[in-house]
């Protein structure tokens, strides 16, 4: 089968790889119909996440058809079309029982903080991902969710990460009616977080980025205010000035490790890899939020130490909430929203590429070529 193959920083190629096999009685094999490249794939692509091994297939956002199941799989059957949440969760451990599906304790041997993620660094379990024709899906009784009849595959694939993560970013903000929400990063997740903030009753939603085309997209899609941080001068002063000098009620970091905008952070975080990515967006979020406000983090950081203004967190009495999205918990509600036309996920997709052009896809997304917001890959074995 064809699959993406990571060869080192900024080098990926398409290659013949062995078909995935059932290795555990709760495994399923899925024939991929759509997969996406995600902003967090770029952290891997750039070589910024420890234990990203050569030979790995990336891709944690995919939908497909079940073609084979293990002996203990009962909840899905061969022929089902499923969307597969990006987290691999057992459904039995204490964290899964608490609906913390992103923190499962039985899927990722390499680390204890996070559960497993498809197609990620080995510190997320060492699983191949969905930028391939076929993929192994463990714990098939828990993760895979049957795509409701009539739902567009392009909508479904965005329900594996982008929509739930954006939604949870807003949810973790504890947004109350009338709150001012400031979102850092106008990538797909940031745009979705801005959009979902309205569902929680935000009174005002502001998004910050430096790419004009993304800001324009956010303005239209999420109906929010959008500002270019390269034009507004000091971001903390800006935040205070536009909020009666107090700060936003909720700040969302939807950027993570690869933030631009602060030379010191860029050098120590992105070039020297001495911290888990440049914490610029987090820094800004903490300094722009109101005292007693909430900072919600969904931007991914590597696991090493970070130079964050933690003193400010203490002094301002902040509550910081952060997690990988609990996709499964959120899916029923989000599927409803999509079916009722309240969220239109596929509108984020700007590029559709054959899987064979995966290297170009990464280059385009990573270098923001051709106004790329969200690229989707389509394997040759899936009819477009």
Partner 1 sequence: MEDNRPLEDNMPFENNRGPADHSHIKGWGIDADPKNDPTYPMKKRTNGEHEGYTWERPTQQPVNMEILHSIERPNVTAVFGTAAPLRGLSGAIRRMAFKNSENVYSHWLPLIMADRVDMVEGIIDDFKHGKIPNIFAEKGYVAEWNYNKTGLLARVAIVAGITAAVVLLARSNSRD
Q: Is 13 in the site for partner 1 (CB under 8 A)?
A: yes
Q: Which of 199, 260, 313, 331 touches partner 1 (CB under 8 A)? A: 199
The full DSSP string for 56-85 is: ----S-EEEEEEEE-TT--S--TT-EEEE-
Q: Which two tokens stand for residue 366?
A: 């990573």
Q: Which of 19, 237, 267, 310 touches partner 1 (CB under 8 A)? A: 237
Rounded CA separation 113/27 (Å): 23
Q: Is 172 in the site for partner 1 (CB under 8 A)?
A: yes
Rounded CA separation 271/356 (Å): 30
CB of 326 to Zn ion, least distance (A): 12
CB 334 within 8 A of CB 343: yes
- Helix axis angle, 327-339 to 162-172, nearest 10°: 100
Q: Among residue numbers 35 through 94, which ones bind Zn ion (CB under 5 A)?
A: 38, 89-90, 93
Helix/strand/coil percent split, the chain, to 5: 30, 25, 45
CB of 94 to Zn ion, least distance (A): 8
Nearest CA to 186 among 173, 202, 205, 161? 205
Q: Is 305 in the site for partner 1 (CB under 8 A)?
A: yes
CB 87 within 8 A of CB 117: yes
Q: Which of 46, 152, 212, 240 touches partner 1 (CB under 8 A)? A: 240
CB of 246 to partner 1, least distance (A): 9
Q: Is 110 in the site for partner 1 (CB under 8 A)?
A: yes
Q: Which of 66, 69, 90, 169 touches partner 1 (CB under 8 A)? A: 90
Q: Among residue numbers 157 through 176, which ones bind Zn ion (CB under 5 A)?
A: 161
Rounded CA separation 230/228 (Å): 5
Nearest CA to 168 among 338, 5, 297? 297
Rounded CA separation 200/179 (Å): 9
Q: Is 24 in the site for partner 1 (CB under 8 A)?
A: yes
Q: Is 133 in the site for partner 1 (CB under 8 A)?
A: no
Residue 38 site contact among partner 1, Zn ion, none (CB < 5 to 8 Å, cut-off depends on kind): Zn ion
Residue 50 site contact among Zn ion, partner 1, none (CB < 5 to 8 Å, cut-off depends on kind): partner 1
Q: Is 54 in the site for partner 1 (CB under 8 A)?
A: yes
CB 116 within 8 A of CB 88: yes
| Stretch in the footprint of Zn ion (CB under 5 A) among 13-21, 103-111, 127-135, 177-185 | 103-111
Q: Is 52 in the site for partner 1 (CB under 8 A)?
A: yes
Q: Is 180 in the site for partner 1 (CB under 8 A)?
A: yes
Q: Is 287 in the site for partner 1 (CB under 8 A)?
A: no
Q: Which is nearer to Zn ion, 99 or 216 (CB)?
A: 99
Q: Is 292 in the site for partner 1 (CB under 8 A)?
A: no
Long-range contacts of 306-309 (CB under 8 A, 24+ apart): 306/269, 306/275, 306/276, 306/277, 306/279, 306/282, 307/265, 307/268, 307/269, 307/275, 307/279, 308/279, 308/282, 308/283, 309/283
φ, ψ for residue 118 (rounded to 5)?
Answer: -60, 140
What is the size of the binding site for Zn ion (CB under 5 A)? 8
Residue 216 site contact among partner 1, Zn ion, none (CB < 5 to 8 Å, cut-off depends on kind): none
Q: Which is nearer to partner 1, 214 or 321 (CB)?
A: 321
Interface residue list for Zn ion (CB under 5 A):
38, 89-90, 93, 96, 104, 106, 161
């Amino acid at each position: 089968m064809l699959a993406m193959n990571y060869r080192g920083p900024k080098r990926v190629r398409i290659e013949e790889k062995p078909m995935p096999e059932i290795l555990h009685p709760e495994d399923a094999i899925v024939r991929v119909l759509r997969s996406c490249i995600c902003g967090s794939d770029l952290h891997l692509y750039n070589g910024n996440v420890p234990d990203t091994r050569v030979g790995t297939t990336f891709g944690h956002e995919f939908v497909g058809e079940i073609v084979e199941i293990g002996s203990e799989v009962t909840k899905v059957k061969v022929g089902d079309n499923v969307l597969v949440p990006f987290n691999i969760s057992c459904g039995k451990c204490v964290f899964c029982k608490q609906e913390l599906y992103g923190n499962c304790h039985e899927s990722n041997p390499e680390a204890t903080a996070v559960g497993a993620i498809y197609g990620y660094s080995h510190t997320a379990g060492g699983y191949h991902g969905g930028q391939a024709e076929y993929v192994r899906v463990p714990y098939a009784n828990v993760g895979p969710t049957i795509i409701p009849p009539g739902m567009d595959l392009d909508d479904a694939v965005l329900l594996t990460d982008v929509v739930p993560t954006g939604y949870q970013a807003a949810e973790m903000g504890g947004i109350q009616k009338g709150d001012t929400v400031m979102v850092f990063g106008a990538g797909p997740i940031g745009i979705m977080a801005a959009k979902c903030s309205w569902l929680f009753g935000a009174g005002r939603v502001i998004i910050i980025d430096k790419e004009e085309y993304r800001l324009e997209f956010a303005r239209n899609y999420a109906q929010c205010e959008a500002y270019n941080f390269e034009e507004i001068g000091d971001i903390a002063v800006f935040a205070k000035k536009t909020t009666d000098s107090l700060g936003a009620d909720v700040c969302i970091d939807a950027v993570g490790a690869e933030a631009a905008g602060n030379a010191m952070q860029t050098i120590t975080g992105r070039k020297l890899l001495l911290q888990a990515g440049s914490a610029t967006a987090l820094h800004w979020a903490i300094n722009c939020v109101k005292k007693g406000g909430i900072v919600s983090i969904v931007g991914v950081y590597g696991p090493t130490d970070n130079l964050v203004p933690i003193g400010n967190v203490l002094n301002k009495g902040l509550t910081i909430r952060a997690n990988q999205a609990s996709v499964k918990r959120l899916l029923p509600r989000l599927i409803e929203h999509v079916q009722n036309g309240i969220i239109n996920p596929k509108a984020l997709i700007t590029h559709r590429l054959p899987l064979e052009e995966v290297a170009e896809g990464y280059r385009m997304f990573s270098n923001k070529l051709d106004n790329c917001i969200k690229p989707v890959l389509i394997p040759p074995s899936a009819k477009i």
